[in-house]
Structures are given as C-alpha cells and as structure tokens.
Chain A
Amino acid sequence: MKDVLESTSRGLYCVPGDFYIDPCLPVNRAVVTHAHSDHARWGCKRYLAAKPCEQLLRMRMSPDAEFRFLPYGETITIGGVQISFYPAGHILGSAQIRLEYQGLVILITGDYKLGYDSTCDSWQPMRCHHMISESTFGLPIYRWPSQQVVFESINQWWRDCREQGKCCVLYGYAIGKSQRLLAGLDPTIGTIYCHGAVQKGNEAYRRTGIHLPETTYVGSVTGKHDWKGAMVVAVPSVHGTPWLKKFGRYSTAMASGWMAVRGARRRRSVDRGYVLSDHVDWPSLMTAIHECNPETVWLTHGFTATVARYLVEQGRDARVLDLLGRDLGEEDKDEEESSDEDFIDEPIGQGNESPEIEATTS
C-alpha cells in the first residue's frame, strides 16, 4: 500500500495520483470525504468530492478554489489512479473514497455510520484490499440505541418543556447533526428556530433536495418574543453564553455519541444528553469490516490501537495508521468534530466574536 498512499505532514498522500485525501494543510489537489472542517480544509487550490457534497463544500470553502464533484459510483482517473465515491452515511454528501491502482483497491471510509438517516444516502459495503477505517467510538461500550427511540425521547422532552412553559435548546453541530435532528423533530409540537450557523447548513441541505421541517432563523426574530414551547437548534459553543438569555426559561440538551457515558454527560452540564452519533459504534464497526472483508484494516481516529489489537486476535490483519500532521493524539476527541468551529470548550462568547455577531453574518 505504501507505493500508493503515504502518511505525510499534510495528510494522507496518494503518490501516483499526486493528491491528498482530507489534507490537514492547504495543498494543490484535495480529495475530500465530506465538508466538516477537520476533513475539508480551507485554502486548497482544487477540491474533488462527491456530488451531493457540493452545496456544503462551496458554502464552506473559498469561492476562488476550483471544484469538481463526482456522482456516487462514477469514476475519474488521475495519474493512473481510479477514484470513485460511495455513500458513507455520515452527513449529506459524505463519501467513502475508493482508490484503485494497478488492481489494488483501497477504501478510505472517512467518517461513517451504518443505518438509515433521511438526510443522507446510506453507507454501503465495498470489497477492498485495504480498508482505512475511522475508530472514533471503537470500544464495546459504544452501542447506539435506535434513532427512532432517541427522536421519540427528544420529542417527549420538547412536549414536557412546552407544558412547563420552557424553551428547548438542542445542541448539534452546524452541519450534519443539526439537520438529522431537525428531520427527527415533530413540527406539530411547536415552532422550530435555528442558530445562524445551523440555518445556513439547512439552506445548503434544502438546495440539495433534502426535506427538512420549516425553521426560522433566531436572529430574524426581533423585539420581545415569547419563546415558551419553542425548539431552538443551536451549535454547542453557545452553551453557557449570554446568547441563551433571550429564551427566558429554557432546558438544554446535547445529542452526541459521547453522551453514552454518564461522566461525559455530567461534565457537559446540559439538562439532557441524547445518544445520537454519525459515527460507527462498536457493533457496526465490526459489521462494516466484516462486510468489506479487506486483507488489511488500517485504523485512524479514536481507539485505534485497541481496535487493531482486537481484530488481530480475531485473525484479521489490522494496523494503526498514524495520521501525521494532526495536532491531537489518540482518543483525544471529546467532540465528534473537535476541530470543527463548533467546538464547545472554546465558546465564541468571548472577545469580540459573540454568537450574536456570528449569527447575523449568515
């Protein structure tokens, strides 16, 4: 595999194709799995991504860059390397990248999850020689409950809050998680409002043809407003900031895979923690590897060494892929997209960049 892919300080580099996959620094040619900012970096000259990723990527990257979008399943050849994208089920437009070079097939999963999500195409298994898989939640303690059950309890919380005359503030990342949450909300309960960054994401989703319930941008509401019984979907970074004051009495909730562990839930100090993740949990990671049935599995992100050791004991060739150039080490991510701008522990409420200002720029 070394002749085809190598780990460099700029990210994973395809030698014969002279391109980078999800580079962490600006490069000439980037092939990206999806639009989250720890995968699609600002400043590259050329981007290649899956077609459904177009709206989100154009929204987030500089308009001066050169873009090319390929429908799922179609192939493009660069330097003798055949590149194609297949749905990863992570967020809208997220893709697994399949590379084929001189008969060798490498699959880079990017971030992915199994199962149905109405806001993006579902993951599908791909046979390959080498599979580079994420293992963010690669421990058997992570077993996601069915999303139907999670949505039901979120809607129940909303109904309870409405009865108590409270406003609901539900945290999700600006693109991906928020829209998945929106699609699961029951709009008959009340009015849905969105933080500016979320609303911007919604528009990109809608332009791509994804159906979402009607949402109102929080910043468009002026003067005295009664927020009782409303649902506000916001980015986690507003938690604990004055941005929330206007909602009066409110209850907060966070939806994330990390919420599976009680300590992480309590540390977050939100009123409710819902276990909803866009990454593979332990059982689906095992299913995915089984179905792709690669000769070698390479693990990145999270519990890489643990998963590799387990797989080796199960008789599979599995190794840790050290992604160079990432500033954070193993298991470091307390957030699903820690380097996304929605990182909760660096509230924007400080300095001159208040969430209000952020909201009005969208």
Chain B
Amino acid sequence: MIRFAALFDAIDRTTKTNEKLTALVNYFREADHADAAWATYFLCGSKLKQLVPTKLLRAWAAQEADIPPWLFEESYHTVGDLAETLTLTVPPGNLASDESLSTWVEQRLIPLRGMAEAEQHQVVVAIWNETPLEMRLVILKLITGAFRVGVSKSMVTRAVAEYAGVSSDVISHRLMGTWKPTAEFFEKLISKEVQDTISSQPFPFCLAHPVDPALFDPELGPGGIGKISDFAAEWKWDGIRGQVIRRDQQVFVWSRGEELMENRWPEIESAAQLLPDGTVLDGEILASLGENQVLPFAQLQKRIGRKVVSNKLLKEVPVIFQAFDLLQDAGQDIRTLQFSERRRRLENLLSTVNHPNFCVTQLIPGNSWDEWSKVRGQSRAMNAEGLMLKRWNAAYEVGRVRGVWWKWKVSPYTIDAVLIYAQKGHGKRSGLYTDYTFALWDGDRLVPFAKAYSGLDDREIKKIDRFVRQNTKEAFGPVRSVAPALVMELAFEGLQISSRHKSGIATRFPRIVRWRHDKKPEDANTLNELMGLLPDSEPQG
C-alpha cells in the first residue's frame, strides 16, 4: 500500500505526461500481479460499490477529531474533497504494517460492505489509527469511491503496454468492458500471445476531434480539413453512443463509458437477436418516433438511469439504434478496413436484418462544403448537434486520433447573465469560490437559471474569488449570495422547459464564455429572451 500511495503522490504532484508514465511503468515493474490488477482497475476509473455510507464516515471523523459535525462540514467546504477532509481532520496515525494493495482491498475494504455499523466503525477507526496521511488519503478515496488522480485510461493503457511490450491498441481492447481485477487477469492483459475475444467484450471506441468552425474554407472545409470528396457527412446525433454486440447467441449493449446496459433498451436488445452471430455495431441510441423523427435528448433522459423500463415509458419514449459503423462482420474484426468498405457492409447487413429499431444513419449528400454548411444550420431542427465528417479511406481507430473523424457542431446558444451566488470549488479549485449561479432578469427580479463552473482562467477566478469575499450579502451554508454586479456570457447546448427549475427552463452544459467587463448587470438578458431561444418557442406565461 505504501508503494501505491507513493504512485498516487508521484502522479499527483506532476503535470508532465512523461513523469506520470515513468511512475506508472515503474509501479507495474515492481508490483505483484494482483496489486497491478487492482492498480489498473482503480487508475482506469473503476470504483468499489459504496462500502460505508459517507454520512457515517463524516460523523466518525468528527468524533475522532473531537469536533462538532458543523465544523467538519465547514472544513469540507474549504477542502472541497471528502476523502481529503476525512484524512486531514483526524490526527495522523502510526503506520502499523505495509500490507499490499490487493490485501487491503480484498481483506479490509471490500468486507466493510457486509458489516454491521458498529463493526464498520471499528474498522474505519483502525484505518485512521494505522495510517499516515498519504496512505490514509488513498484508502479513504477507495472507500468513498472518489479515487481520481491525473491519469487517463489511455495513459494507463500506454504504461501497461510499455511494461508488457504489447501494442497499446491490444491492451486497450483487453481493458474494454468489465473484468475482475485479479492476478490472472493481469497476466492475460500483459501476455504477448494472441487471445480469443471474450464474447461480451466491446472494441475501444473511435472518437472525433472538433473542427474549428471559424476557419472555414470553401475548398478545404471547416478547419481546413480537406477536400470534400475525401469525406462522408452524417448528422451528429445527440443520444447515447453505444456498441451492440451479437456473439455466441447473446446480445450485449455497451455505453461509451463502458457500462453494460442490461435490460435498459429492450427494443434494441430484442431486435439485435436478428443480427447474425459475430456482429458488432457502433452507433447512437436515440429516442425516436420513426425515420427522421428523433426526439430531443431531454426525452431520452427520462429513460437514462431506469434499470426497469415501464410499458408506459416504452410507448412514450421509444428508442432506436442508429448504426453508423460495423466493427465485426461474420466474426471477423474489420476495423482496419476503410470506412467506405465498412459502410457498404453495414448497409448490406442491416438491409438483410430489416428491423425498424435498427437504422443505418443516412449519409448527407452534398457537392460543396457550402452546401454542407447550410445543412448543418438545420441541425437543431433535426435534434442533432451538428455534422460528423468521416474520412472515406480511414480505418476505425482506437480513441481520439486526429484526421479520421471530425465533429462540426453548431454554435452553442449564448446569453449574458448576472452572477448572484458562489460556492467554493473542488479539486484544484479547493478553497476558492469557483462554482457560480447565474440569473436573468424577470421584470426587476433576478431569477437564477444556470450553474456554471468552467470557462474562466486562473487570474479571473482569483479576481472573482476576491469579489465574492468582499461583496457577500448573505451566506446560506456554503453558498454565498453576492451583490449582482458581474456579467458573464454563458454558452449552452440545449434548452428545455422544466418544472423543477425556478426559472422554468433548464440549460444543457452551461459554461462561461467570457467575462463581460463591458456590461453592467442591468444590461444582462431577460428570462423572456432565454425563452425565445427554445426550439419551438411559444410565449410562456
């Protein structure tokens, strides 16, 4: 565990990719395979299911630190990280022993879940007593399920690949889907021998790069990506990216977050029974009433997170699988074939299957970039986010590889709003007021309508932090209301009527575009102006 805590620390204190990579590779070299498996598991972002309710952890920490619960909460709002607050408030313990990561996880942490509260309490207090700060932080992060450190899954993949001497595309594929972090798994992961694919295992997704729409060239397109004849254009659908796998007479539907979505999309799962064995499709799950009648994302949202889907909801929000790529055909991995060939096979395959819940996304005809640019302008009406541009002769790559797939999104909505509440941030922004609530005018009232966290640089954050401290009107717990003085331009992707929001409207992905120093609060937009941006805008009461 000392070694794993040291790895966490080494990754945490540097921003340089090379140093992180070296730290990872060194760890894999020294760790036994069971530890390496768990390390890979956690570093790739997998979590243990909640082991102990955080409410109890907070109460016990306050007790151990001999402080009242409110003081623990105040500390938490300053630190901005629960595991770290649990680590810092309790006086440090003395290292009792150095059990391995796998021993810790398997014998001390996982058993916590089944225990009675009193027993859990005993174990957690023992952890506090036996751990110095660095190790305690890592263990508590595993317990709270908030283990995040500055590495991406692709960096871990690269490190394992370097250590194992196996190409990172192969490692990436072997790390897809669900797997058990055991020594055996890790040995297979790093094995140089070719292995059979496990039937449920998805392929790594190919991801698109954004183009810069400001750099439009009539010959070379947006961002100057190339000649129009080199590209196919499709709608960029706003649904859930997924892979449908048909192997060994079974069906698996995976999300891009590598979650196996069992029983969530019965329409798709049943239709997939018709696919020939040894087929893998890439596409988008969409709420749709039929061909070209895609519903807004907000509708699909009603079905997200539902483990069991009611018949009523099935009727109200039916879904389809809009396929746009074929990765495995008749048992053969065809990712290295050109897109034109994969597309031809996809069309053939789905025309044979011929099921309304499986559509091939249509290619958008066009003879010039200008023409496609016009089509892109209709994206919102189609409930699409813009266009996808795919290179005809490219293979299906692993991850975000430049030049293969481009996303050409429509410009976001923007509006000028007034900052009215602020709260301290998390992680790197701990202790600073970085989480803001914005409001729009409704008559002479400012109505809160969106929260935004990102978009400002460090210098601006510092200025706003100072402003908040000097202009606080009231504090409600961790939230401060401030004098309405700062105006920011906000951008967001979508709008939806909502009864849950005070303003009656919900925004999707709101973020700050820039600080409008040139505007006074009274120059900010009104709620009515926001309503006017709704796709089927009708006057609201």
**Inter-chain contact A332/B75, CB cutoff 8 Å:** no
Knowing A264-B431, A267-B429, A269-B15 are in contact, say whether A310-B80 is a contact too (CB < 8 A): no
**Inter-chain contact A140/B470, CB cutoff 8 Å:** no
The digit string for B463-474, where 1 denotes a CB below 8 A from any CB of A, is: 000100110100
**Inter-chain contact A310/B429, CB cutoff 8 Å:** no
Q: How far is the CB of A259 from chain B (nearest CB, A)?
A: 11
Contacts of B78 in A (CB 8 A): 139, 141, 261, 331
The digit string for B415-448, where 1 denotes a CB below 8 A from any CB of A, is: 0000000000111111110000000000000000
- Could you tell me the distance between the alpha carbons of A309 and B71 in the complex, rounded to whole angstroms? 9
Whether A143 sits at the interface, judged by CB under 8 Å, is yes
Contacts of B470 in A (CB 8 A): 328-329
Contacts of B425 in A (CB 8 A): 263
Contacts of A306 in B (CB 8 A): 71, 74
**Inter-chain contact A262/B462, CB cutoff 8 Å:** no
Q: How far is the CB of A262 from chain B (nearest CB, A)?
A: 6
Whether B288 sits at the interface, judged by CB under 8 Å, is no
Cross-chain contact of A266 among B137, B428, B462, B469 (Cβ < 8 A): B428
Contacts of B462 in A (CB 8 A): 345
Chain B residue at minimal CB-CB distance from A142:
B88
Contacts of A141 in B (CB 8 A): 75, 78-79, 85, 88-89
Cross-chain contact of B92 among A143, A261, A269, A334 (Cβ < 8 A): A143
- Could you tell me the distance between the alpha carbons of A159 and B425 in the complex, rounded to whole angstroms? 36
Name A292-314 residues within 8 Å CB distance of B.
Answer: 303, 306, 309-310, 313
Chain B residue at minimal CB-CB distance from A286:
B66
A-B contact pairs, 21 of them (CB 8 A): A139-B74, A140-B72, A140-B89, A143-B91, A261-B88, A262-B84, A263-B80, A263-B81, A263-B425, A263-B427, A263-B429, A263-B430, A264-B430, A264-B431, A273-B13, A283-B91, A310-B67, A310-B71, A313-B68, A329-B469, A329-B472
- Could you tell me the distance between the alpha carbons of A141 and B470 in the complex, rounded to whole angstroms? 24
Contacts of A262 in B (CB 8 A): 12, 81, 84, 137, 430
Chain B residue at minimal CB-CB distance from A260:
B88
Contacts of A272 in B (CB 8 A): 13
**Inter-chain contact B469/A331, CB cutoff 8 Å:** yes
**Inter-chain contact A261/B79, CB cutoff 8 Å:** yes
Contacts of A273 in B (CB 8 A): 13
Q: How far is the CB of A336 from chain B (nearest CB, A)?
A: 14
**Interface hub of A261, A271, A309 (most chain B Cβ within 10 A):** A261
Contacts of B458 in A (CB 8 A): 267
- Could you tell me the distance between the alpha carbons of A331 and B91 in the complex, rounded to whole angstroms? 23
Contacts of A309 in B (CB 8 A): 70
Whether B14 sits at the interface, judged by CB under 8 Å, is yes
Contacts of A18 in B (CB 8 A): none
Whether A330 sits at the interface, judged by CB under 8 Å, is yes
**Inter-chain contact B466/A139, CB cutoff 8 Å:** no
- Could you tell me the distance between the alpha carbons of A271 and B137 in the complex, rounded to whole angstroms? 19
Assign chain B's interface to a size class.
Answer: 35 or more
- Could you tell me the distance between the alpha carbons of A358 and B450 in the complex, rounded to whole angstroms? 46
Knowing A261-B88, A263-B81 are in contact, say whether A328-B466 is a contact too (CB < 8 A): yes
**Inter-chain contact A263/B91, CB cutoff 8 Å:** no
Name B277-315 residues within 8 Å CB distance of A.
Answer: none
- Could you tell me the distance between the alpha carbons of A306 and B432 in the complex, rounded to whole angstroms? 17
Chain B residue at minimal CB-CB distance from A314:
B68
Q: How far is the CB of B276 from chain A (nearest CB, A)?
A: 51
- Could you tell me the distance between the alpha carbons of A306 and B13 in the complex, rounded to whole angstroms? 31
The digit string for A238-271, where 1 denotes a CB below 8 A from any CB of B, is: 0000000000000000000000111111110101
**Inter-chain contact A140/B67, CB cutoff 8 Å:** yes
- Could you tell me the distance between the alpha carbons of A273 and B426 in the complex, rounded to whole angstroms? 19
Chain A residue at minimal CB-CB distance from B14:
A271
Whether B115 sits at the interface, judged by CB under 8 Å, is no
Q: How far is the CB of A152 from chain B (nearest CB, A)?
A: 14
**Inter-chain contact B430/A140, CB cutoff 8 Å:** no
- Could you tell me the distance between the alpha carbons of A72 and B79 in the complex, rounded to whole angstroms? 38
Chain A residue at minimal CB-CB distance from B84:
A262
- Could you tell me the distance between the alpha carbons of A150 and B172 in the complex, rounded to whole angstroms? 41
Contacts of A143 in B (CB 8 A): 88, 91-92
Contacts of A139 in B (CB 8 A): 71, 74-75, 78
The digit string for B131-143, where 1 denotes a CB below 8 A from any CB of A, is: 0000001000000
- Could you tell me the distance between the alpha carbons of A356 and B270 in the complex, rounded to whole angstroms? 73
Q: How far is the CB of B493 from chain A (nearest CB, A)?
A: 28
- Could you tell me the distance between the alpha carbons of A283 and B92 in the complex, rounded to whole angstroms? 13
- Could you tell me the distance between the alpha carbons of A328 and B463 in the complex, rounded to whole angstroms? 12
**Inter-chain contact B68/A310, CB cutoff 8 Å:** yes
**Interface hub of B72, B89, B472 (most chain A Cβ within 10 A):** B89
A143-B92, A261-B431, A266-B13 known; 11 new pairs, CB 8 Å cut-off, are A139-B75, A140-B89, A142-B88, A260-B88, A263-B426, A264-B431, A265-B13, A266-B12, A310-B71, A328-B470, A334-B431
Q: How far is the CB of A349 from chain B (nearest CB, A)?
A: 15
Cross-chain contact of A261 among B12, B71, B84 (Cβ < 8 A): B84
Q: How far is the CB of B77 from chain A (nearest CB, A)?
A: 10
Knowing A141-B75, A143-B88 are in contact, say whether A332-B429 is a contact too (CB < 8 A): no
**Inter-chain contact A140/B71, CB cutoff 8 Å:** yes
Q: How far is the CB of A223 from chain B (nearest CB, A)?
A: 31
- Could you tell me the distance between the alpha carbons of A139 and B92 in the complex, rounded to whole angstroms? 15
- Could you tell me the distance between the alpha carbons of A74 and B407 in the complex, rounded to whole angstroms? 76
Chain A residue at minimal CB-CB distance from B466:
A332
Q: How far is the CB of A32 from chain B (nearest CB, A)?
A: 26
Whether B485 sits at the interface, judged by CB under 8 Å, is no
**Inter-chain contact B430/A261, CB cutoff 8 Å:** yes
**Interface hub of A143, A265, A328 (most chain B Cβ within 10 A):** A143
Whether B65 sits at the interface, judged by CB under 8 Å, is yes
Name A269-286 residues within 8 Å CB distance of B.
Answer: 269, 271-273, 283
**Inter-chain contact A267/B67, CB cutoff 8 Å:** no
Chain B residue at minimal CB-CB distance from A306:
B74
- Could you tell me the distance between the alpha carbons of A267 and B431 in the complex, rounded to whole angstroms? 11
Q: How far is the CB of B3 from chain A (nearest CB, A)?
A: 17
**Inter-chain contact A332/B71, CB cutoff 8 Å:** no
The digit string for A314-339, where 1 denotes a CB below 8 A from any CB of B, is: 00000000000000111110100000
**Inter-chain contact A267/B428, CB cutoff 8 Å:** yes
- Could you tell me the distance between the alpha carbons of A237 and B270 in the complex, rounded to whole angstroms? 64
**Interface hub of B70, B71, B430 (most chain A Cβ within 10 A):** B71
Q: How far is the CB of A124 from chain B (nearest CB, A)?
A: 24
Chain B residue at minimal CB-CB distance from A329:
B469
Chain B residue at minimal CB-CB distance from A143:
B91
**Inter-chain contact B431/A271, CB cutoff 8 Å:** no
Q: How far is the CB of B5 from chain A (nearest CB, A)?
A: 13
Contacts of B80 in A (CB 8 A): 263
- Could you tell me the distance between the alpha carbons of A343 and B469 in the complex, rounded to whole angstroms? 19
